[in-house]
Amino acid sequence: MQRLAQVSWCLEPTHVDVTMGELAYAWGVGSRTEDASAWRGRLWLDGDEALAWAWLYPPGTLEWQVHPGHLELLENVLDWFQSEVPQGQRATSVRVANTDAIGRLRARGFRSDDDAPWMRLNVRGLEEIEAPHLPGGFRLLTMADSDADMAARVAVHQASWRELGTRITQETYANVVLTWPYRPDLDLVVEAPDGSYAAFALAWYDPENRVGELEPVGTDPRFRRRGLGRAVNLFGLERLQEVGALSCHRWVPGRRRAPGAEAAVRVGRLHGALAERSLREGV
C-alpha cells in the first residue's frame, strides 16, 4: 500500500488521497485499537506489485488508491465496497483533480455536498526556510536526542488533540515508532522551561520522491499563541531539507469554499438514503 502511494505520487501526485506517511501513521495507531479487528481490506496485485488497494472502516467508510496507469481498477474497488456494505451508509473521498475517479463515482450514484467540510493540501519548496524562533527557556528537540522522553512526547500529543479526540496512548505510539518509515530524527518537539513538551510535529520522508510531510502536528493549549507551533514546523522543514527533501506538504482544514471546488462526495444507499464525507481539495 505504501509502495503504491509512492509510485502514484511520482506519476500523478494530484490523485493521491492517502500518502505513504498517512498510511504509516493510520496503521501504527489504529492497529492497536479495539476498532482494528473490524477493519477490512483488499489488494489487487500484479505479481508482487500492488495496483490498487481498499481499506474499509466500519460501518461504511472507504479509503482507496488505484495506480494512475490502471484507473479502471476503481470499478473493482467499488464492486468490493458494495459487496462488503450492501446496505447502510457508504462514503468515500477523492481528490478534486481526479476527474476520472469522480466520473466513475458519479456513475454509481455518488453526489457532491457543498456544505460538507473539506481539506486543502498545502505544498511548499524547501529552498529557503525561515529560522525557527522560540521564546526564552524553550528549546527544540528530536526524539533521536539522547534526553528525549517518549512519555512526554505522548503527553503533548494527547493534550494538543484532546479537544478533537485522539487514539494516541503509550501503546499505540510505540507501534507508530515501529512502523516504516518512522524516523526519530524527524519526530520533533518543543521543550518548555519546566521540562514538559509544549508542541510537536511528526515529519515523514519519502526518499524516492524526495518529498516530506508533516502529519500530525499540535500545541498543548497551555502554550498556544506563542509561536511554538510555527517554530516546530519550521524545524521540521529544516530537518526534511537536511535528509534530502525538495518539498513538503500538509493537509489542512478548508475554511471556505474554493472557487470551482467540490466540497464532498455522497453515495446513495441501496434503498435511497445518503451519507457524506469530505472531499479533499488539492492545491
Question: Topology of 2-118+254-281 in CATH?
Answer: Aminopeptidase (3.40.630)
**Sequence-distant (≥ 6) Cβ neighbours of residue 12 within 8 angstroms:** 68
Q: Do domains 2-118+254-281 and 124-251 have the same CATH topology?
A: yes
pTM of the model: 0.86
Mean pLDDT per 10-residue segment, the chain (283 residues): 96 94 90 75 96 93 95 98 90 91 93 76 94 97 96 98 92 94 98 98 97 97 97 98 97 62 32 28 28
Question: Looking at residue 116, what is its pLDDT?
Answer: 67
For the CA atoms of the chain, what is the radius of gyration?
20
Question: Looking at residue 261, what is its pLDDT?
Answer: 40
Within 10 angstroms of residue 43's Cβ, the number of other Cβ atoms is 12
Burial (Cβ within 10 Å: 0-12, 13-18, ≥19) of residue 79: exposed
Question: What is the domain partition of the chain in residue ranges?
Answer: 2-118+254-281, 124-251
In Å, how far from its chain's centre is CA 259? 24
Cβ-contact 130, 237 below 8 angstroms: no
**Sequence-distant (≥ 6) Cβ neighbours of residue 71 within 8 angstroms:** 100, 101
> What is the residue-wise DSSP string for the chain?
-HHHHHHHHHH-GGG-SS-HHHHHHHHHHHTTSGGGGG-EEEEEEETTEEEEEEEEETTTEEEEEE-TT-TTHHHHHHHHHHHH-SSS--EE---TT-HHHHHHHHHTT-B--TTS--EEEEEEE-SS-PPP---TT-EEEETTSTT--HHHHHHHHHHHHTTT-----HHHHHHHHTSTT--GGGEEEEE-TTSSEEEEEEEEEETTTTEEEEEEEEE-GGG-SSSHHHHHHHHHHHHHHHHT-SEEEEEEE--SPPTT---EEEEE-TTS-EEEEEPEEP-
Question: Looking at residue 75, what is its pLDDT?
Answer: 98
The candidate with the shortest Cα–Cα distance to 203, out of 179, 184, 178, 186, is: 186
CATH number of 124-251: 3.40.630.30
